[in-house]
């Protein structure tokens, strides 16, 4: 295949397995309710893939990815809320035609910056653009001043806290702690039905693959190799004449764009957006998805998001009062015994054995192409 | 089914039972008529595929038992489980024992929505007792409306909502606020009020109603300040200084959660002792549960406006407190919301029996007009707007963490979730 530079055979198989899982196995094996839940988990996978690039490849640990997830989600939610707040639907309010929470907060008219969100194309563009612009500002401010490592992580965490406080404090404009709720239709199409949820699941899966392919492309490009070089020896890259800050800003913005798309898909599938998805705790959880999956692997990140969220759901259904302990034990076990996460388990434990089996049967065949090991 | 037999049943028999003061108090208190399962064919009383079998019916309990809200919501879970076990002891509903599936909302609104969908779609529960914060209710509301579930929501809240799929067993804001303000004005002669609260929709809406009432309906009264602090705020020194400067007659506080502890301690440290009533401290956000965190000695003398206090002296409440302590331990305290949560299963039982069916549409239709003479807070009735008629009471905090009831409205207060003139 001509993709050999873009994707090794092993990687191609990995992509195909994941595609089979998402597009065939889950829809066949799961009922509507569970499928919708997996759709929700997969929206977190967007963030985890972005983190695998920023953190795993680039060494930039961001504890504020929830901000970008939230911004994307809020952009989508604003559009849907405006569509749901027709004068007929909101006739009971003192000012019909504006979102319900604005009415409760005595706003008499729509704030000007909500106006553009009447348009779907603008809202969709904003889903990507707003997180990217925000990430760009943070990136320029931090990376050109050579703020990195732990300091960068702390600052991004502070942004997550600030964003939550801002959203909760400006409840007349943002819905406050309740978030933006009761979203109904997308261009007249009811997103609450089972059928719509199934369609959204597939749209979500397709978008995730687009994101995965972009991530794979970045990894394999010169940029990707530079990122890894930067992670391991930043000064050496700088002395070779590269502008390190620009690469960092780019990859950080890319991660933010992925997270924004994930947030928008979350809003569509879950039906609301709230500040609990923006703050420090969800942002750290997103890092955990990535860590469990194996931060070096973009596919691992998807599995990490799926596994952790699935464990969260099933543990909390079986042990409503103890499940957090179980989840904690899972994290500790992964960090202690499998520092490279699920991807590490696969490439260190399972894959060699499979290969050994494979090679026993066909001893004449050499091991697959010698792409640089990662 | 004959219409209204459950009201007759509950009123007639219970009054007599109460008067007789039977030995098996709890059993005789709550509708002792035996309805046998075989009198009601499952196919007739469940036409929409709910989780009803020939001898059981399954409902959901959806509260946070982990996360920051767990401390508040645990009381509601306990009350609902108590009510369910008492109903089962008496033979259940339409001869069917109640089983429950408990899910954890984990203090996280998307999780609430996820679990609500699971209960309704997967488990097909006949009704759900659940939610506590407004945010969690807002998150599950579209799920309940889409899948036609039926939710009993226990918390006093800001109003401005009336869903066909929810019965609100707590007070909406006007029921909690107006009578208390009138009381403090009439009996204490209070004229000036300083409003403060945590910064989210319930305190803001409540203070809006309080301000409108003070300015438009209470002659010669005024609001001298209004301020909000983020949830979890712990530095109240600046507002306390302002209060000392403006000398209001009443500090009207709607501070919630952990902030309460800091607020009342700092108030006392600054020399504003609620027992001296200069100014009077009046709150609508501190129940017996919160006092456990604040410490009785820190809040002693403050007034709270609720519909229920653990110290209420009536037969229903004495039996309720006794049963609650037997089930959950002697140290437990029971706050306003816990009592409202306890009403949920009973109100549902009465509505199902009146409707003669578990079908949500029929239960909804049967709900307005349902009365409960056995409620710990006294007689309550479901209004057309799905809220409860209930009394408003004022209690004064004691050092032991209990309230002494100093006032109650003579009549039930009508729920008015969209109050005219207060918007």
Average pLDDT over residues A89-115: 86
Instruction: Please say if the pLDDT value at position B7 is more than 70.
Output: no
Shortest CA distance from B102: residue in chain A: A320
Of A37, A92, A169, Cβ closest to residue B230:
A169
At A310-346, the pLDDT tens digits run 988 888 888 877 887 887 888 788 878 888 888 888 8
Q: Which residues of A touch B134 (CB under 8 A)?
A: 178
Helical ranges in B247-390 per DSSP H = 259-269, 288-294, 296-299, 315-328, 336-355, 360-366
If one counts every other C-beta atom within 10 angstroms of the C-beta of residue A2, the result is 5
Task: Please name every residue paired with B250 in a beta bridge, in sequence order, or none if there are none.
Answer: B193, B280
**Per the CB < 8 Å rule, is A274 touching B122?**
no
At B99-118, the pLDDT tens digits run 999 999 988 888 999 999 99
Q: Which residues of B touch A176 (CB under 8 A)?
A: 199-201
Average pLDDT over residues B214-241: 89
Average pLDDT over residues B179-204: 91
Helix/strand/coil percentages in chain A, nearest 5:
75, 0, 25
Window 22-41 of A: residues touching B by CB (8 A cutoff) are 31-33, 36-37, 40
If you ran DSSP here, which 8-state letter would residue B151 be given? E
**Per the CB < 8 Å rule, is B142 touching A182?**
yes
Position A108 scores a pLDDT of 87
Give A177 to chain B, closest Cα distance, Å. Answer: 7
Testing the interface with B: which of A177, A198, A276, A324 to mutate, by most B Cβ within 10 A?
A177
Sheet strands (E) in A57-215: 185-186, 189-190
Q: What band does B8 get if pLDDT is binned at 50, 70 and 90?
A: very low
At A9-60, the pLDDT tens digits run 888 999 999 999 999 999 999 988 899 999 999 999 999 999 999 998 889 9
The answer, as to whether pTM is greater than 0.90, is no
At A106-133, the pLDDT tens digits run 788 899 999 999 999 999 999 999 999 9
Q: Residues 6 or more apart from B197 whose CB is under 8 A from it?
A: B203, B204, B206, B207, B227, B228, B229, B253, B254, B255, B256, B285
Q: Which residues of B touch A272 (CB under 8 A)?
A: 109-110, 113, 138-139, 142
What class does CATH assign to B12-171+312-389? alpha beta
Could you tell me if B161 lies within 8 Å of chain A, comparing CB atoms?
no
Q: Which two tokens stand for residue B192?
A: 């000036």
Instruction: Please say if the pLDDT value at position B11 is more than 50.
Output: no
At B232-265, the pLDDT tens digits run 788 899 999 999 999 999 999 999 877 888 999 9
Position B34 scores a pLDDT of 57
If you ran DSSP here, which 8-state letter would residue A106 be given? T
**Per the CB < 8 Å rule, is A106 touching B208?**
yes
Position B103 scores a pLDDT of 94
Instruction: Please say if the pLDDT value at position B16 is more than 50.
Output: no
What class does CATH assign to B173-306+393-408? alpha beta
Q: Residues 6 or more apart from B2 whose CB is under 8 A from it?
A: none
**Per the CB < 8 Å rule, is A169 touching B418?**
no
B193 SS3 class: strand
Task: Choose between B382 and B72: higher pLDDT.
Answer: B382
End-to-end CA distance of chain A: 21
Phi, then psi, of A313 in degrees rounded to 5: -65, -50
Average pLDDT over residues A286-292: 90
Could you tell me if B164 lies within 8 Å of chain A, comparing CB atoms?
no
B69 SS3 class: coil
Of B110, B117, B205, Cβ closest to residue A33:
B117
Position A25 scores a pLDDT of 94
Which of A28-37, A362-371, B139-148, B342-351 is the least confident region? A362-371
Testing the interface with A: which of B74, B109, B203 to mutate, by most A Cβ within 10 A?
B109
Distance (Å, whole) CA B36 – CA B14:
20
Residues of chain B with CATH 3.40.50.2300: 12-171+312-389, 173-306+393-408
Position B33 scores a pLDDT of 52
At A68-87, the pLDDT tens digits run 999 999 999 999 999 999 88
Could you tell me if A317 lies within 8 Å of chain B, comparing CB atoms?
yes
Give A174 to chain B, closest Cα distance, Å. Answer: 12
Instruction: Please say if the pLDDT value at position B21 is more than 70.
Output: no
Instruction: Please say if the pLDDT value at position B330 is more than 80.
Output: yes
Distance (Å, whole) CA A50 – CA A251:
8
């Amino acid at each position: 295949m001509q993709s050999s530079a873009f994707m090794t055979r092993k990687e191609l198989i990995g992509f195909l397995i994941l595609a089979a899982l998402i597009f065939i196995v889950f829809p066949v094996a799961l009922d509507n309710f569970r499928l919708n839940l997996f759709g929700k988990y997969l929206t977190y996978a967007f963030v985890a893939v972005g983190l695998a690039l920023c953190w795993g490849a680039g060494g930039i640990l961001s504890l504020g990815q929830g901000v970008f997830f939230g911004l994307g989600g809020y952009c989508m939610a604003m559009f849907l809320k405006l569509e749901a707040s027709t004068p007929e639907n909101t006739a009971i309010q003192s000012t019909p035609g504006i979102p319900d929470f604005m009415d409760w907060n005595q706003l008499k008219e729509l704030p000007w910056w909500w106006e553009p969100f009447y348009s779907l194309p603008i809202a969709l563009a904003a889903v990507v653009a707003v997180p990217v612009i925000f990430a760009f500002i943070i990136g320029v401010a931090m990376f050109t001043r050579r703020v990195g490592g732990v300091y960068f992580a702390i600052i991004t965490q502070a942004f997550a806290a600030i964003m939550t406080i801002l959203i909760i404090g400006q409840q007349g404009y943002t819905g406050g702690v309740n978030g933006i709720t009761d979203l109904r239709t997308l261009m007249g199409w009811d997103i609450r039905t089972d059928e719509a949820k199934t369609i959204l699941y597939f749209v979500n899966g397709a978008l995730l693959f687009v994101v995965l392919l972009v991530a794979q492309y970045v990894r394999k490009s010169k940029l990707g190799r530079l990122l890894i070089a930067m992670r391991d020896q930043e000064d050496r890259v700088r002395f070779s004449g590269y502008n390190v800050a620009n690469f960092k800003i780019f990859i950080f913005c890319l991660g933010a764009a992925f997270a924004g798309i994930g947030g928008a898909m979350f809003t569509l599938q879950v039906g609301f957006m709230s500040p609990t998805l923006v703050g420090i705790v969800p942002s750290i959880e997103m890092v955990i998805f990535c860590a469990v999956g194996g931060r070096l692997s973009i596919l691992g990140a998807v599995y990490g998001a799926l596994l952790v969220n699935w464990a969260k759901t099933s543990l909390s259904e079986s042990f409503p009062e103890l499940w957090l302990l179980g989840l904690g034990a899972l994290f500790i076990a992964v960090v202690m015994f499998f520092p490279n996460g699920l991807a590490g388990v696969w490439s260190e434990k399972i894959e060699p054995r499979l290969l050994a089996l494979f090679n026993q049967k066909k001893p004449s065949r050499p091991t697959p192409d010698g792409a640089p090991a990662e | 089914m004959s219409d209204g037999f459950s009201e007759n049943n509950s009123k007639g028999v219970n009054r007599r039972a109460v008067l007789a003061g039977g030995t098996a108090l709890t059993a005789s208190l709550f509708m002792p008529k035996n309805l046998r399962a075989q009198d009601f064919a499952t196919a007739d009383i469940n036409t929409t595929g709910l989780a009803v079998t020939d001898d059981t019916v399954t409902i959901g309990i959806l509260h946070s038992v982990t996360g920051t809200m767990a401390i508040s919501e645990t009381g509601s879970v306990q009350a609902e489980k108590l009510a369910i076990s008492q109903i089962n002891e008496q033979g259940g509903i339409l001869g069917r024992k109640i089983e429950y599936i408990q899910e954890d909302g984990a203090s996280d609104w998307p999780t609430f929505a996820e679990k609500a969908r699971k209960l309704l779609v997967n488990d097909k529960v006949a009704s759900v007792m659940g939610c506590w914060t407004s945010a969690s209710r807002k998150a599950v509301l579209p799920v309940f409306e889409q899948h036609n579930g039926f939710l009993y929501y226990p918390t006093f809240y800001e109003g401005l909502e009336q869903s066909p799929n929810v019965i609100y067993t707590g007070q909406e804001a006007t029921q909690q606020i107006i009578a208390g303000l009138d009381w403090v004005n009439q009996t204490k002669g209070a004229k000036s009020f300083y409003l403060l609260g945590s910064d989210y929709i319930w305190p803001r809406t409540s203070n809006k109603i309080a301000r409108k009432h003070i300015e438009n309906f209470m002659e010669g009264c005024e609001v001298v300040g209004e301020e909000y602090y983020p949830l979890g705020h712990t530095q109240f020194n600046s507002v306390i200084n302002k209060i000392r400067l403006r000398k209001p007659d009443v500090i009207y506080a709607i501070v919630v959660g952990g902030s309460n502890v800091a607020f009342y301690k700092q108030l006392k440290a600054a020399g504003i002792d609620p027992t001296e009533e200069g100014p009077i401290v009046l709150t609508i956000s501190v129940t017996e549960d919160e006092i456990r965190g604040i410490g009785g000695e820190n809040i002693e003398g403050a007034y709270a406006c609720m519909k229920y206090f653990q110290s209420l002296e009536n037969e229903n409440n004495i039996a309720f407190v006794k049963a609650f302590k037997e089930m959950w331990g002697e140290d437990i305290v029971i706050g306003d919301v816990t009592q409202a949560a306890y009403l949920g299963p009973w109100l549902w039982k009465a509505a199902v029996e009146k409707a003669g069916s578990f079908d949500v549409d029929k239960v909804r239709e049967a709900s307005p007009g349902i009365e409960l003479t056995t409620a710990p807070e006294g007689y309550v009735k479901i209004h057309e707007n799905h809220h409860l008629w209930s009394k408003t009471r004022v209690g004064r905090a004691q050092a032991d963490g209990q309230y002494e009831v100093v006032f109650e409205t003579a009549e039930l207060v009508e729920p008015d979730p969209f109050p005219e003139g207060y918007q």
